[in-house]
Chain A
Amino acid sequence: MPRVTPLHSRVGPLCQGSRWEEWSGFLTATMYELDHLHEYNAIRTGCGLFDVSPLLKYDIRGRDAVTLMNRVIVRDAKKCRIGQVLYTTWCDDDGKVIDDGTVSRLADDHFRLTAAVPALHWLQHNAIGLEATVEDVSEQIAAVSIQGPTSRDLLAKLTNADLPNLRFFHCTQADVAGADAWISRTGYTGDLGYEVFVEPQNAVKLWDAMMELGDSYQMRPAGTVALDLARVEAGLLLIDADFISAAQTMFDVQKTSPYDLGLAWMVDLEKDFFIGQRALREEKEKGSRWLTVGLELDVTVMEKFYAEWGMPLHLPDRTWAEAVPVFADAAQTKHIGRGTSGTWSPVLKKYVVIARLRPEHAKPGNKIFIEEVIEAVSYSVPATVVKMPFFDPPRKKAWGAEAK
């Protein structure tokens, strides 16, 4: 039986259809209303409020904290200034991705890592010989995420932090709704947004303060279905959808490297030793098996396929996450990869898919075909390779004068 988060007294009654799922052992709302679209739209027009307390959080402290971080993540932790946040992956010895998450530098000798897959043992194991402690603080810190264009204005009403000058992927300690908090300008929506971390006993106070202002900023509590739609638009990968943790599968074929996932930009081969470095160096030289890119489907062709059955075009109104075959040709003779998650994007008015393809077919502009099964018959829908993120509004990163 999953447990409930510190916000359950609030999110529980709001979840109209009791549509819960489990996240790291806790109940989390998939949607609060009976349909996710209003929540989704709030994220893009007003803002959405998420209870993200189940996020796994680890505090790494000590003189060698930076050395430990550098040993485990593929990015250079030394370059992470205090108050900066890095999005990163960590890999096994073979350079295969175990998980992705954020690393925040809260002090010179203090990092906080967020994760989806439990990492305490692994972090502690790698700390052997270092003057660094690792502590699982997942249940000592509750968190809400407020995401969308009005998030800054709403949050500004509750905090003394200088929000316009808090840059994308930076964090700051501040008072929020009378509680001591960390505000991190991060999220999983590709929009303007913040994650606010507080002690569990202050979580309800924070939530209530935000809800109180909600109507003036068109905020809605939002669940994971709306979030999943937004994250695909933002081109953000999801574990167990777009990749499988190397720690959670026995089969090499199911493992992926950061290069496979289109995350080459984050792999710093020049920095100090990190786990998987050797394998990744080799892979860089030899070339990767895959490349993760975006696809835009041609729905006019899809519409014709549906019309063959006397049906109108059917578009997914939420994200699907399964392996869908991709081919170089309409006849489906040359298999070149898979779609890993996809959805109709209401904000883009496009059918977008995150896909992992053979690199030679993954150039932007390349035309390929993705399978669509209609009435148990396989069709080839033409699609174009595009760069991700699909949706990238300027407000996501705007700061200083631009943020007023």
Chain B
Amino acid sequence: MTQTYDAIVVGGGHNGLTCAAYLARAGRKVLVLERRHVIGGAAVTEEIHPGYKFTVCSYVVSLLRPEVIRELELAKHGLQIHPLDHVFVPKEDGDHLISYPDPAKARDELKRHSPRDAEMMPRFTEMMYKMAYAVKPILGYVPPNPNSLSLRDLRTLRAFGKHLNGLGKQTFHELTKIMTMSVDDFLAEYFESDIVRSMMGLSGIIGTMLGVKSPGTAYVLLHHFMGELDGAFTAWGAQKGGTGGVSEAIASAARSHGAEIRVEAPVSQIIVRNGTAVGVALENGDEIYARTIVSGCDPKVTFRKLVEEKELPPELVTAIDKFKYRGSSGKVNLALDAAPIFPGMPDPSLIKGSIDICPSVDYIEQAYDDAKYDGFSKRPCMEVEIPTTIDPTMAPPGKHVVSIFVQYASYNMPEYGDRDQQREAFGNAVIDTLSEFSPNLKDLILHKQVLTPWDMEDKIGLTEGNIFQGELTLDQLFCFRPAIGWADYRTPIRNYFQCGSGTHPGGGITAGPGRLAAREILGEEF
């Protein structure tokens, strides 16, 4: 109980673990305290039904920073990511669009829908690559503080300015557009076919309570283009054993450097003396002391739950209270007795890829309309993956687990009764809708797990169930994340730092915030 550490990390999400691993690697004595019985936060795998492992929340990986993979030697610790096959998008009239990785095949498929779009696709992709390449360096910078630019801040801005200068006019113009436009308007400048726009538009609304026609969503699309897999730009993949495998790999790296990780250790408060954090108080009454305290929780928990208001300047309190969460996504995980059949699929092996339920632009917008006044989409948009089609470790042979990411569901859905009734109604809407495309689905279900945004807050600790620890809109990114003046991982409380996805570079399995926070904490030593 009186044991002291150099650093305590509150929250064993993948960012908290990343920060801990870097601190331990630098020789610090580190303790991670996780509230739940498992580590990982939103990157977690749990055996919800005996023999069936669910990638409970997140399900695909692309944004994970390559420098973290290298520096923490994550492959040695179990990181193993499989590139995903194809994307299959069934239409309501029985037709479909398939996105193939092979350019010639992709072109042929697009041609069926629009010869013009088939030609446009490579140009569009190239332009998105260029923009992602342009914006990517930002992911590795500590955001400057526009209120009081330090020498380092100026250096960061200059380096970035130079980089932007080198982009050329056209990329710069497109960049300005993508930062401001709606995803559908942006896509409409390139593509005429509705199904092409809906397939790509889906990436613009993931995790936001905005529709494909709401301004600002084009950027979310770009965010999805910023990843890479083994040097292949924008490729998405599935971690062996679900995304919990990523967290486990990071945890293993942290332990190998001597970090200690405790589960079922919820922190109730940061102990602050004279404006300096000196330790944490656990819910069970224990107090543990350390020279540095880092929170990997979202901004609300970090600033409004774990510390008292009086420790913070009022501007920050106001900014944090205004920070938008508005969870908009749900998750349904199924254990199946056999592989589901999609009659619209021209080739059954397409179930090894992603199955996206977003049959038209209007369908997506309608899904948003249903949900925006506290509710959920009656016919939701979905990203469906069947990890067992590539990874045999997640279910017994011949059996399957299905991960269904659902857009949209509100945090509150009073119309549907109490929380249990809401969950039931929401889960049914998801399964009913998916069954329209896979009629045998319902007969195969052995077990289902349904998570509404409220459940995500309750279970994972994500405020209002926002999957990114706060929306990824332009007003909440870079030096605005989580609040202007406090985007450099520090807080007004000395020795109290933040490292969750509520800080730059934001949500997704990136490990970026954890690494940059560790860098700030360690200063020159990094």
Interface residue ranges, A against B (CB under 8 Å): 34-35, 37-38, 41-42, 44-46, 149-150, 153, 215-218, 299-300, 310, 312-315, 317, 344-350
Contact = CB atoms under 8 A, between A and B. Distances in A.
B83 A349 contact: no
A347 B230 CA distance: 10
Contacts of A347: 75, 80
B434 interface: no
A218 B352 CA distance: 10
Given A45-B240, A349-B70, A350-B75, A315 B230 contact: yes
Closest 3 CB pairs of A and B: A315-B231, A34-B102, A349-B75
Interface residues of B, number: 34
Contacts of A310: 166
Given A216-B397, A300-B70, A315-B231, A46 B390 contact: yes
Contacts, number: 73
A206 B185 CA distance: 54
Contact of B82 (A45, A217, A349): A45
Contacts of A312: 133, 231, 233
B230 A149 contact: no
B398 interface: yes
Contacts of A349: 69-70, 74-75, 79, 230
Nearest to A47: B392
Interface string B94-107: 00000011101100
Nearest to B85: A38
Contacts of A217: 392, 397
B166 A348 contact: no
B390 A41 contact: yes
A218 B79 contact: no
A46 B397 CA distance: 11
Nearest to A346: B230
A218 B398 CA distance: 9
Contacts of A346: 81, 230
A38 B339 CA distance: 19
A116 B391 CA distance: 33
A149 B83 contact: no
11 contacts: A34-B100, A45-B82, A45-B393, A218-B391, A299-B70, A312-B231, A314-B231, A317-B230, A317-B232, A344-B230, A346-B81
Interface of B: 67, 69-70, 74-76, 79-83, 85, 100-102, 104-105, 133, 166, 230-233, 240, 339, 352, 388-393, 397-398
A38 B318 CA distance: 49
Contacts of B398: 215-216
Nearest to A42: B390
A295 B102 CA distance: 32
B109 to A, nearest CB: 13
Nearest to A303: B66
Given A216-B398, A315-B230, 14 more contacts: A34-B100, A34-B104, A38-B82, A41-B83, A45-B82, A46-B391, A149-B392, A215-B339, A215-B389, A215-B398, A216-B397, A300-B70, A314-B231, A347-B75
Contacts of A317: 230-232
Contacts of A44: 80
Nearest to A37: B83
A297 to B, nearest CB: 11
B397 A153 contact: yes
A45 B390 contact: yes
A217 to B, nearest CB: 6
A346 B391 CA distance: 16
B82 A41 contact: yes
B165 to A, nearest CB: 12
Given A45-B240, A45-B390, A217-B397, A35 B231 contact: no
Nearest to B80: A347
Nearest to A345: B75
